Amino acid sequence: MSKVKKPQQRWVCQACGAVTTGWFGKCPTCEAWNSIEEEISAPPPGERPAGPGKVVASTEAQTIVDRQPRRPCGLGEVDRVLGGGLVPGSVVLLGGPPGIGKSTLLLQASVGLARRNGVVLYASGEESVAQVAARCGRLGASHPGLLLMAETRIEEVLSAAQERARTLAALIVDSVQTVHSGAQDGLPGNISQIRAVTSALVGFAKTHGVPVVVVGHVTKDGQLAGPRLLEHLVDAVLSFEGDEERAIRMLRATKNRYGSTQELGVFEMRGDGLREITNPSEAFITDRDSPAIGSCVTASLEGSRPLLLEVQALLAAAFGNPRRTCVGVDPVRLAMLLAVLDRHAGVFALDQDVFVNAVGGMRLGEPASDLAVLLAVASSHRRQPLPPGLCVFGEVGLTGELRPAPRSDARLSEAARLGMKRVLLPTGPKQHALSARKLKEQLDVEVRLARTVGEALELAFG
């Protein structure tokens, strides 16, 4: 007769998840103070004989996928980021700063799911049913198919979900740090509890084919609280971002097993909830009567969506070491562009303080925004505004040459749709010239092509 092993005691860092031999005041791995706590782990499941697994052919698996289509939630921006809707059996983690609107977004999405796909169970571990119902009334998100419950025990949540598994369109848990499992010791939110709760939710989703959405807390530096284990267990990780001083909110996917991670959803926070912004370019471009010095419009690509964004630059006299302050722009890339301006365009700004900002809280991560940043800096240095209605995009090389951006046709069409009268882009293959000629004929937009940084400055300010 085999002996049953007793639960093992171990010391785990609550900041990084590292396991140590005993208690330390400072974690040897992440160097966090007073973060190591004692945990009791259950015997490993490997002592029980594993049941036989079902082997399915890939062709048969495809028919299973076809029988279980995605479940759209009715919010086009959310469905865009997810890749078309929630996948049956998937687990989605939604993170964001406190008060950014995560619960508001989920309640509005839950009503859309309930109207189109069936019953949605919304389990809150932070608010009572009356508080959640009051928010539903304010948002206009009440529906007979949206079921609410206030519970912090994962066993009770899964029991209520299993009773309705056949008609359940989605299970939403808000949040994973407030729910605990009775099979694990420790307070809610520690590593063992998060692992147990997430594993139970993943098992329920895969067994019953019900999509599960969980909310995760975010630390001060914007990272999901707890170890990276939580992100590895789920199928998709969504980030709800925004500035508290602005009404614009953005939804991004940092991980998505069933879709692209390049898509962007844009919302506006109002008193009655979140409103989708179907035309984000208008929200990110400042409406002025006359052109401003140090401002340049570029066409950025967020997944399959082209966006027109405004880049602003300001140069000032430096007292001491020059500063490089960037908001939404890579400071390393800005330093490279300043060096290119000095060497290949005769614009010396290395001895001045340079401030660059992407309007609207956006991030310009693709190299196609190089030319816009460069022209904005040159405009501030010359104290001369760029011509009104000008849109530029292109990558800048260290030798001063310009490289074309991918999907120039989509960027050109978006610039023309927003009323841009002149577009400056790098000279590229023949398809660029054909697109320029076609745009000129159909939309009456002037397209100028430049090979180098010097030519771009002459065409922009000429």
Integer Cα distance of 252 and 38 in angstroms: 36
Task: Give the three-class secondary structure for 40.
Answer: strand
DSSP state of 404: P
Residue 103 is assigned to a ligand binding site: yes
Q: In the numeric block, which tokens belong to residue 300? A: 């950025």
Q: Report whether 99 belongs to an annotated binding site.
A: yes
Quote the CA–CA distance of 213 and 71 in Å, as a whole number: 13
Torsion of CA 107, 112, 114, 118, to 10 degrees: -140
Q: 332-368: buried (b, 16+ CB within 10 Å) or exposed (e) per residue?
A: ebbebbbebbeebbebebeebbbbbbbbbbbbbebbb
Chain centroid to Cα 39, Å, comes to 33
- CA–CA separation, 308 vs 3, rounded Å? 67
From residue 396, how far is each of 20, 68, 328 by CA, in Å? 49, 46, 18
Q: What are phi and psi of 126, to 5 degrees?
A: -115, -25
Cα–Cα distances in Å, from 27 out to 16, 21, 31, 228, 436? 9, 11, 5, 17, 59
3-state secondary structure at position 291: coil
Q: Is 98 annotated as a binding residue?
A: yes
- Element (DSSP H or E) covering residue 309: strand 305-317
100 annotated to bind ligand: yes
Longest dimension (CA), the chain: 90
Residue pointed to by tokens 């608010």: 127
CA distance 44 to 83: 37
How many Cβ atoms from other residues are within 10 Å of residue 121's Cβ?
Answer: 24
Of 317, 322, 460, give the one whose Cα is nearest residue 378.
460
Contact 405, 431 (CB under 8 A): no
| Bridging pattern class, strands 91-95 and 212-216 | parallel
Say if residue 52 carries a ligand binding annotation: no
- The residues with which 10 forms a beta bridge, in sequence order, are 39
Q: Does 22 appear as a known binding residue? A: no
**Binding site as annotated, residues:** 96-103
**Binding site as annotated, residues for ATP:** 96-103
